[in-house]
């Protein structure tokens, strides 16, 4: 099993150096590809100075994050792709641990792990929740989309995720219309149509939380609209075994409106608060879903009677 780490970058050489180092210095060999969205800084000179340690691709013009991911993966020769943005970085044993878990699950097409959120000084702020109590879990394909709908199976951001290159290619790649606004989640839900999932309850990735992150440029109301679009896509992919008890899509929409309204309140973004506030604030089912997600994250274990997702420890 060969891994290719695809690092996307644009005008952030100071951060890119760290991302490249974390990929090049993995405990097992892997291919490292830097996909550059036509940076105007010294990115090209630096990456080319690394010689054959890194495969370099540069867009002729700026095309955006999604297109740059696709271009990088076209250069990859690995069986599995490990995604990495330039402002994030990997634990030294990330690829090794993922490879071990994937080897035990021959039908897996997507793999995720716990990530630590760190500030610009690499001080840990928080961690994404674990799933269950074991070191790793396998989830059959028929249960994935239901779990994603109710946010019980959080694949997470690119730094957490690896996928089968074949499955990625079958999806047609990342959607540029969603560029940097749920383009990753949209990709995960489409990849998951082609096989099973693996989750590692190990912190193998580090995501930087800072004002320069790409997703900070989107308004909360736009993020809500995209979130609804993604949930509608997931809803249509849910396996028939879950149809008798899956919540109605309008309930899901009310839950999302409630979530983003509370985010706006927390951030004191009163313009977004006024535009998003509606009857969803009075939906008991929306509040039930919201509290269930929060409770599940807090105790870091999922109740199989509630989520009806099969978690098989490996």
Phi, psi of 164 (to 5 degrees): -65, 130
Q: What DSSP character marks residue 133?
A: S
CA–CA separation, 226 and 67 (whole Å): 18
Residues in a beta bridge with 124: 118
The confidence score (pLDDT) of residue 304 equals 42
Q: Does residue 87 sit in helix, strand or coil?
A: coil
Torsion angle defined by CA atoms of residues 291, 129, 138 and 308, in that order, rounded to the nearest 10 degrees: -10
Averaged pLDDT in 10-residue chunks for the chain of 314 residues: 97 97 98 98 97 97 96 97 97 98 95 96 92 87 94 92 98 90 94 97 94 68 89 96 90 84 78 68 69 55 52 75
The confidence score (pLDDT) of residue 251 equals 86
Token pair belonging to 292: 């269930």
Q: Does residue 196 sit in helix, strand or coil?
A: strand
Task: For tokens 């013009």, name the residue.
Answer: 61
Helix 141-149 × helix 183-191 angle, to 10°: 150
The confidence score (pLDDT) of residue 296 equals 55
Q: What DSSP character marks residue 76?
A: -
The confidence score (pLDDT) of residue 245 equals 87
Element (H, E) at 247: none
CA–CA separation, 156 and 83 (whole Å): 11
Residues in a beta bridge with 112: 161, 199
DSSP 38-62: --SSSHHHHHHHTGGGSEEEE-SS-
Burial category of 311 from C-beta neighbours within 10 Å (exposed 0-12, middle 13-18, buried 19 and up): buried
The confidence score (pLDDT) of residue 212 equals 62
Delimit the domains of the chain by residue range.
3-215, 218-313
The confidence score (pLDDT) of residue 134 equals 83
Pairing of strands 31-36, 3-9: parallel
CA–CA separation, 227 and 181 (whole Å): 9
Task: For tokens 């089968």, name the residue.
Answer: 164
**3-215, what's its fold?**
Spore Coat Polysaccharide Biosynthesis Protein SpsA; Chain A (3.90.550)
The confidence score (pLDDT) of residue 279 equals 62
Task: For tokens 């590809």, name the residue.
Answer: 33
Q: Does residue 273 sit in helix, strand or coil?
A: helix
């Amino acid at each position: 099993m060969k891994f290719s780490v695809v690092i996307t970058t644009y005008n952030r050489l100071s951060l890119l150096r760290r991302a490249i180092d974390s990929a090049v210095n993995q405990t097992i060999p892997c291919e490292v590809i830097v996909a550059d969205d036509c940076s105007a800084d010294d990115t090209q000179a630096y990456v080319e100075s690394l010689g054959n340690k890194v495969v370099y691709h540069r867009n002729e013009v700026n095309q955006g994050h999604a297109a740059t991911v696709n271009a990088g993966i076209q250069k990859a020769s690995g069986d599995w792709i490990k995604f990495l943005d330039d402002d994030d970085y990997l634990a030294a044993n990330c690829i090794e641990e993922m490879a071990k878990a994937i080897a035990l699950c021959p039908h897996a097409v997507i793999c995720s792990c716990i990530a630590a959120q760190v500030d610009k000084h690499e001080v840990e702020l928080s961690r994404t929740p674990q799933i269950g109590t074991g070191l790793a879990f396998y989830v059959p394909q028929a249960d994935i989309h239901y779990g994603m709908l109710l946010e019980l199976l959080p694949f997470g951001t690119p730094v957490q995720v690896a996928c089968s290159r074949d499955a990625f290619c079958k999806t047609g790649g990342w959607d540029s219309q969603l560029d940097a606004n749920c383009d990753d989640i949209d990709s995960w839900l489409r990849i998951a149509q082609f096989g099973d999932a693996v989750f590692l309850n190990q912190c193998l990735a580090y995501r930087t939380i800072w004002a320069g992150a790409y997703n900070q440029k989107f308004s909360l109301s736009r993020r809500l609209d995209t979130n609804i679009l993604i949930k509608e896509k997931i809803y249509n992919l849910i396996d028939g075994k879950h149809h008798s008890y899956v919540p109605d899509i309008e309930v899901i929409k009310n839950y999302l409106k409630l979530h983003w309204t509370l985010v706006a309140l927390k951030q004191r973004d009163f313009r977004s608060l006024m535009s998003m506030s509606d009857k969803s604030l009075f939906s008991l089912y929306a509040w039930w879903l919201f509290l269930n997600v929060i409770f599940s994250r807090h105790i870091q274990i999922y109740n199989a009677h509630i989520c009806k997702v099969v978690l098989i420890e490996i």
